[in-house]
Structure formats: structure tokens, C-alpha cells
Amino acid sequence: MSNDGTLFQGSGARPLFGSDLLSAVVATVSDIALLVEPSGRIRSAMANPDNRSFGEAAGWPGRNLSDLLLPESLERFRRRHAEMVAGAEAGDKAVYRWAELMHASDGTEGFPVRYSMHWMAQDELILMLGQDQRPVIEIQQQLLNAQIALERDYEAQREMDTRYRLLMGFTRDAIVLFSMATGRIIDLNNNAAALVGAARADLMGSPFAEQFEDRRTAEFLSALSNALPSDLPSPMQAVAARTQRRLVLHSKVFRAAGERLVLCRIEDPGQAGTDGSELSVNLRQLFYEGVDGIVFTNKDGIIEAASEAFLNLTDAPSLSSVRGRSMADFLARGAVDLKVLLETARRSGHLRVYATRLATDFDAQVSVEISATWLNDRADPILALVIRDASTSASLRSDMSLGGDSARGVMELVGSTTLKDIVAETTNVVEKICIETAIELTRNNRVAAAEMLGLSRQSLYVKLRKYGLLSRNEE
């Protein structure tokens, strides 16, 4: 198919667009083919049957390009037409130009078509073979959106990395991040490197377990794995190989990109801190090593954390065996005791002493004294319980209680005298016991005993004579 139009002319010098073969060829090589007169009037139009975007092209013959193109595209068409005419007059036998024209479309901004414009010299017609550029523009837009998304992800990653680096450098905590699969350090801050006793650059990629004495990698990771399932695991203690410091390790496992990682916070209990960090260390040690049981429950009395001392009191094997259970399971009177603790602590903020018995997992009971504090400075209030073994104190109190001769004497009065007289006698018994206790606690220091009882010295001497205690104490 030449540009001089020999294949488009027959007898009578008429275009052969009616030829089925020629129409099929033209329709195959382009999405749309136009035969345009110099005036811009469209003589013939054919669309590729496989492209449904140009279904309206059947109504284009007889119309002018000015009705189908946007103004700037119409001006571009006219310039290309003038260039082809000038080329033909100069003797160029293969005159063609490329032009991307914007077709007007109802309700849209138009759509682009890239045309190859061929000059047919004998009839001074222009053959325009066009390729629809909308699929190309869609692909370009998708690539652009993908590029923008990548740029945004890259900027977000840089921002998160900056925050992470700033947090690692700014925090007072010593933080180490290492792989659970290999046990090697992935990242750590300078505080952690200082506690371990090496430069940060030297520790990167090294086995974390080797930084501590008598710690093999497999055993070290196994110990961390066993402690990790609970939310508040007991901290692991280890001695740094270089600095010989006794350190405390707190760990948390998580997954990232399919890999198990461990975030480890290292503490030095012997290092004094500021801004309450020393207090936090002391309170943490008290929780784990104190002789009194400490339990934290939610507002419904469900245990969330418990100290080792509480596990000893209840003969519980591990923290996981008590977490999630109601505190009523470990109280002798069950829900009754728990209700008293919760309601009193919620109403007044605290309960100083509540004497009851603690039930163990083996149906044994231990006399205890419980103090409760209601921590409501948070979205979910917490009940904090301090539980003290009162078995020995209960025995001492029973020896000094009304169970002796005085109590028996009072009980013998029932049925033989009035309640008023019995109460008066009981008051005398209690008063005598209190005075005896004060004298014993102060080692016969009567001034201190009087102050302890809120009495004057004269009143104390009067009561000592009343109960026959004065001569005995002087002896």
C-alpha cells in the first residue's frame, strides 16, 4: 500500500473502500481509519470490529473533523495537513505525519487517538490510520499510581525507621532485638551495649547468649521461650560476661515478616536511676521476691497477676495455673469474701486489714490478713491485694484472747446475771488484756504504755491497781 494512492484507485479514480479485502486490511492494522478531504470533511470511516470503543464511527462519514476534535487538536491536524501539502509540492512521494488528536466525547474530557496521516496525491485526500491511546493511558496511570504508592511506602518506612531510631536512642531502657531462630542480635541501643560491656558495632550480629556467663544459645532461647507465653513472665537473671554485672532480662516474642523475634529489655538492679526508675526496680523486686503475697485482679476479681509468695501460700504450681481464675476460688468463704473486698475497696478506695482464710489447691486452709487497694486511675480499674500469712499471729492472739480463765469466767455468768452486767464484766476483761499487752510490748515502760493506750500516767496507775497488776509489775 503506497502513499501515492495506486492501490486505492480503480477505474474512474474512485477509492476502493468498498472492497472487502481492503476494508479488512485497513481495519486490522488500526483501531479506526478515516479518509478525510482537505476541507476536513470525512468521506469514509472504518472501525476495528474487535474494538468497541469506536462504535459511533459508522455515523462519522459526511461530518467535519471540527465536530469531532477538540480545538487544539483541530489546529494540530491543520498544521500536519499543511506540512504534507508542502512536502508533496516539494516532490516527496512518501508524505506522512504522526499526530495525536483528542476526540471530543459527550460527558468526558475526550479521548486520545494517535494517527498516522498519509497523503494521497491523486485525489488530495488524507488517509488517517489511528490507534486508540486509552489503554496506553490507563497503563501509564496504573504505573504512575504504583510509583506514587511506592514513594509513599518508602517515605512511610523512612519515617517509621526515623521514629524507631529516635526511640532506641532516646529511651533510658536498654533494648536488644534478636532472632529466635539464630539467637543473634539484630539491633540494640547504646544503653544495652554499655550494660553488656562492648561497643554496639561489635555486638551487631553476635550471639546474644554469649554475652552472659554460663549461657548456651539453645538453653538460653529455651528459657526465654518457656517464659514468654504469659503476659507477665518472671524476669530472667544473668551475669554479663564482660562487666560481671548481675542483670535482669525481660523478654517479649513477636513475629515480623514470618520470622520470630524477641524484644529484650535489660535492667541493672544495682544501678540507681532517676525519675522513679529506682522505685520501679524496687517495687518489681518486692513483687517477685517479697514474703507477702501480691495479687492484681480486674474489677470482677479475676486474677491477672500474682507473685511467687501467693503461689507458695496456695500451693499453686505456676502463674499460668492461677491467671484467669476468680480470687473467690482461693478464699475460704468464696464469693462472700470477694464481694466484701471488692465493694469495700471500691467504695472507700482501700481496705486496711481483712482477716480470713486462704484455701489452697489441696483443700488446706491458711489464716491470712488481706489489705486491698482500688486502682481506678485507668480505663479498667485494678484491685491490688497484699496477702500476709497470719497463722502465727492468729495463734498468739488466741492465747491472749478471751479463751483463758477470764473468758471462761465471763461465759459462766450467762444465765446467772443480766446482759448489762455481763457486758460490763467483758469490758473489764478486754481492758485488762489491753493493759497487759501494752506493758508487755513496752517492756514495763509505763510512760510509753500510757501513751500507747492514750491514758495519763495517773489513769494507768489507777487501772493497774484496779486489776492487781501494779504489784506484779513492780516485782
The CATH number for 81's domain is 3.30.450.20
- pLDDT score, position 360: 83
- Where in the sequence is the domain holding 342, given as residue range(s)? 290-397
Q: Going by C-beta distance under 8 Å and a sequence separation of 6 or more, which residues neighbour residue 367?
A: 355, 356, 357, 358, 389, 390, 391, 393, 394
- Burial classification of residue 96, based on how many CB atoms lie within 10 Å of its CB (0-12 exposed, 13-18 middle, 19 or more buried): middle
- pLDDT score, position 20: 60
Q: Are residues 239 and 214 in the same domain?
A: yes
Quote the CA–CA distance of 66 and 170 in Å, as a whole number: 68
Residue 139 in any domain: the answer is no
- pLDDT score, position 229: 44
Residue 157 in any domain: the answer is no
Quote the CA–CA distance of 374 and 350 in Å, as a whole number: 6
Sign of CA dihedral 193, 197, 200, 202: negative
Report yes or no: 109 and 130 within 8 Å, Cβ to Cβ.
no
Residue 1's alpha-carbon distances to 81, 88, 114, 279, 396, in angstroms, are 20, 17, 20, 93, 121
For residue 414, is pLDDT > 80?
Answer: no
Residue 149 in any domain: the answer is no
Q: Are residues 423 and 381 in the same domain?
A: no
Place of cell 517495687: 283
Q: Are residues 377 and 424 in the same domain?
A: no
Quote the CA–CA distance of 309 and 287 in Å, as a whole number: 9
For residue 154, is pLDDT > 60?
Answer: yes
Note the Cα 352 to chain centre separation in Å.
Answer: 37
Residue 280 in any domain: the answer is no
Q: Are residues 307 and 409 in the same domain?
A: no
- Cα–Cα nearest to 57, from 88, 36, 86: 36
Q: Which of 331, 365, 397 is the last residue of a domain?
A: 397
Average pLDDT, the chain: 79
Mean predicted confidence (pLDDT) in 407-424: 61
Out of 262-266, 336-340, 371-375, pick the least confident: 336-340
pLDDT (tens digit, 9 = 90+) per residue, 243-301?
Answer: 888 888 888 888 888 888 888 899 887 665 544 566 777 787 788 888 899 999 998 99
Out of 172-186, 247-261, 410-424, pick the least confident: 410-424
Q: Are residues 212 and 256 in the same domain?
A: yes
Place of cell 517464659: 227
Q: Describe the strand order of the beta sheet including 125-132 as a list of residue ranges.
A: 42-47, 32-36, 125-132, 111-120, 96-103
Confidence of residue 177 (pLDDT cuts 50, 70, 90): very high
Confidence of residue 46 (pLDDT cuts 50, 70, 90): confident
Quote the CA–CA distance of 78 and 140 in Å, as a whole number: 28
Q: Are residues 392 and 424 in the same domain?
A: no
- pLDDT score, position 145: 92
- pLDDT score, position 407: 55
Q: Which three cell numbers stand for residue 343?
A: 465493694
- pLDDT score, position 428: 78
Domain count, the chain: 4
